[in-house]
């Protein structure tokens, strides 16, 4: 009754789901033997990119020492010590402030802004998150003498740039008013919660990739190439997961509609259990109305939540700064991160990933 090809096909699907549980695995590529040897160009670029060599800079220096080294004269020290500084604004939504308009503060801010801090690794940060960090650190410290303002290098990878008491602050230097905010790499964020997100991402996109490959076997080459441009774990949008979950739902319902499959073939039982596990992580259990839409939206919310929970953390801020002293404060409310289900008004399109970095639309914080 069941062709051998069907069994082979489902074994491949099951292999993808099992492979997805390995967070450090290369993902769906290794599990999908049906795919051609052609490598994703992004993955190829990452694999061929040489590792950075440590510059062995003065990594033992505190931020204070680095800052004073940039103003080595007695006059420069006086300029640093005379900074009025800034305070964290109160209120909700995206808050906007500016440094003091006096000449000394403007001069010190612009000079510090140009220099990227030396990280624990001995390397400076990327352009998107290094510039402005020393300036914000110093101005928060000077404006809040009773608060423990410190750099957070000792916390290791995945921690926010600065700490203001127990509040995390992640520093960015993108154009003021930016609509889509890059918040960095996300696959290692969120501990167990993030691990489960990776299982779901690899599983669902893996099945989608396999089905796309199989359905394009008899198509013309140009159409086949177009269809093969599928999402992967580093580059995706809400629409990719919506279409992928629609395919997963069909497989799940087909298996559950035939008791003989579950009773006679362990393969189908394993596949059913794996998909059920994905549904359980998302809180849908495969029975909600419009399951694919719910699952896709919930997954995008979980990905965003895991990232923000790690950096800058509950109650923290993403601060976007520029050389003129403008500062945008994106507050990560504890209420946002306490929600298990995506809130009303959240749109899956508000979050997307490109080049392994997560982007969040501005309206999420408004």
The answer to whether residue 266 is domain-embedded is yes
Residue 210 has pLDDT above 80, yes or no: no
Q: Which of 30-44, 53-67, 326-340 has the highest mean pLDDT?
A: 326-340
The answer to whether residue 280 is domain-embedded is yes
pLDDT band at 335 (very low <50, low <70, confident <90, very high): confident
The answer to whether residue 40 is domain-embedded is no
The answer to whether residue 349 is domain-embedded is no
Q: 223 and 249 share a domain?
A: yes
Domain that holds residue 165: 63-174
Q: 18 and 68 share a domain?
A: no
The answer to whether residue 337 is domain-embedded is no
Residue 15 has pLDDT above 70, yes or no: no
Please state the domain count of the chain: 2
Residue 4 has pLDDT above 50, yes or no: no
The answer to whether residue 354 is domain-embedded is no
- The pLDDT of residue 296 is 96
How many C-beta atoms surround the C-beta of residue 102 within 10 A?
Answer: 11
How far is C-alpha 51 from the geometric centre of its chain's CA atoms?
A: 21
Domain boundary at 304, 322, 352, which? Answer: 304
Q: What is the pLDDT of residues 347-360, one digit of tens each?
A: 999 999 999 999 99
Q: Which residue has the higher pLDDT, 81 or 20?
A: 81
Percent of the chain clearing pLDDT 70 (strictly above): 75
The answer to whether residue 309 is domain-embedded is no
Domain boundary at 304, 320, 339, which? Answer: 304
The answer to whether residue 49 is domain-embedded is no
Whether pTM exceeds 0.85: no
Q: What is the pLDDT of residues 44-71, one digit of tens each?
A: 333 433 343 333 334 557 899 999 999 9
């Amino acid at each position: 009754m069941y062709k051998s090809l069907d069994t082979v096909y489902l074994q491949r699907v099951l292999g993808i789901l099992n492979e997805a549980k390995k967070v450090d695995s290369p993902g769906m590529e290794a599990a999908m033997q049906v795919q051609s040897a052609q490598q994703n160009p992004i993955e190829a670029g990452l694999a061929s990119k040489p590792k950075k060599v440590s510059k062995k800079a003065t990594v033992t220096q505190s931020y204070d020492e680095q800052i004073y080294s940039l103003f080595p004269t007695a006059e420069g020290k006086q300029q640093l010590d005379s900074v009025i500084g800034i305070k964290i604004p109160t209120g909700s939504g995206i808050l906007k402030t500016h440094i003091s308009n006096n000449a000394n503060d403007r001069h010190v801010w612009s000079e510090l802004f140009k220099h990227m801090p030396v990280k624990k690794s001995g390397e400076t940060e990327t352009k998107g998150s290094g510039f402005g960090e020393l300036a914000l650190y110093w101005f928060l410290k000077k404006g809040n003498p009773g608060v423990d303002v410190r750099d957070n290098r000792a916390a290791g990878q995945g921690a926010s740039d600065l700490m203001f008491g127990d509040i995390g602050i992640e520093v960015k230097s993108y154009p003021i008013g930016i609509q889509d905010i890059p918040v960095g790499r996300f696959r290692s964020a969120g501990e167990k919660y993030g691990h489960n997100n990776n299982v779901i991402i690899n599983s669902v996109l893996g099945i989608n990739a396999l089905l796309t490959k199989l359905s394009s076997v008899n198509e013309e080459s140009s159409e086949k190439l177009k269809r093969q441009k599928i999402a992967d774990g580093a580059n995706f949008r809400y629409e990719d997961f919506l279409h992928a979950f629609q395919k997963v739902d069909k497989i799940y319902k087909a298996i559950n509609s035939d008791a003989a499959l579950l009773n006679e073939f362990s393969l189908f039982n394993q596949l059913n259990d794996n998909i059920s596990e994905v549904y359980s992580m998302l809180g849908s259990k495969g029975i909600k109305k419009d399951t694919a839409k719910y699952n896709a939206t919930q997954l995008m919310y979980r990905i965003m939540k895991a990232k923000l929970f790690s950096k800058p953390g509950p109650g923290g801020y993403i601060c976007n700064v520029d050389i003129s002293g403008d500062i945008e404060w994106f507050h990560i409310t504890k209420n946002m991160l306490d929600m298990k289900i995506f809130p009303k008004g959240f749109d899956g399109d508000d979050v997307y990933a490109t080049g392994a970095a997560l982007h969040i639309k501005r309206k999420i914080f408004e």
